[in-house]
Amino acid sequence: MRQENPTPLHWRDVEERAPDLAAAVLARFTAARHHVLATLTSDGSPRVSGTEVHLWRGDLTLGSMPGSRKGVDLLRDPRFALHAHTGDGSLAEGDAKVAGTAEEVTDAGELAGYAADRHPPEPFQLFRLLLTSVVLTEVDGERLRLRTLRPDGTVTTVHRA
């Protein structure tokens, strides 16, 4: 049976529904500058690209140069997965991943506000990340703990040996 597409979440929704999980995931995305973005190419195969992520006006955002492969991919098929930089590899602070759809920001006022706040190299293309999954994997003693937020607001926790 096919499931309905869930209504994606803005980052502010994640913070509202799961504040502890949101804080831990955001800490991973702000601990380092570069992260790994997965998009889909025109033939449906995956492409990974380095990217920066910023919290801006209640949303996770990413920018790109106009015409970049990741931007072209996202305009064609907005689905993405984003993996935070893993740090020193110890997973001491957890391993964060989000997935969903990217929405291009085209409103001139919003773009001007972003440029004034963030000072990106110009010209730039801006995407707002609408989330269908937020996952944090943490080392919990001898086990792994996976905390997942779904768009319906449900947070599940699974322990794996």
- The confidence score (pLDDT) of residue 98 equals 98
Q: What is the mean pLDDT of residues 40-63?
A: 96
CATH number at residue 54: 2.30.110.10
Indicate whether 112 belongs to any domain.
yes
Name the residue range of residue 33's domain.
11-133
Indicate whether 110 belongs to any domain.
yes
Contact by Cβ (8 Å): 129, 102: yes
The phi-psi region of residue 71 (left if phi > 0; otherwise alpha if psi is between -120 and 50; otherwise beta) is alpha
Range name among 7-21, 65-79, 83-97, 143-157 with the lowest pLDDT average: 83-97
- The confidence score (pLDDT) of residue 4 equals 61
- Number of domains the chain is built from: 1
Render pLDDT for 98-108 as a digit per residue (tens, 0 to 9). 999 999 999 99
Indicate whether 161 belongs to any domain.
no
Indicate whether 160 belongs to any domain.
no
Percent of the chain beyond pLDDT 90? 83
- Whether 24 has a pLDDT exceeding 60, the answer reads yes
Within 6-94, strands assigned E span 35-40, 46-51, 54-56, 59-64, 79-83
Indicate whether 107 belongs to any domain.
yes
Indicate whether 3 belongs to any domain.
no
Indicate whether 53 belongs to any domain.
yes
pLDDT confidence tier of residue 7, bands split at 50, 70 and 90: confident
Indicate whether 156 belongs to any domain.
no
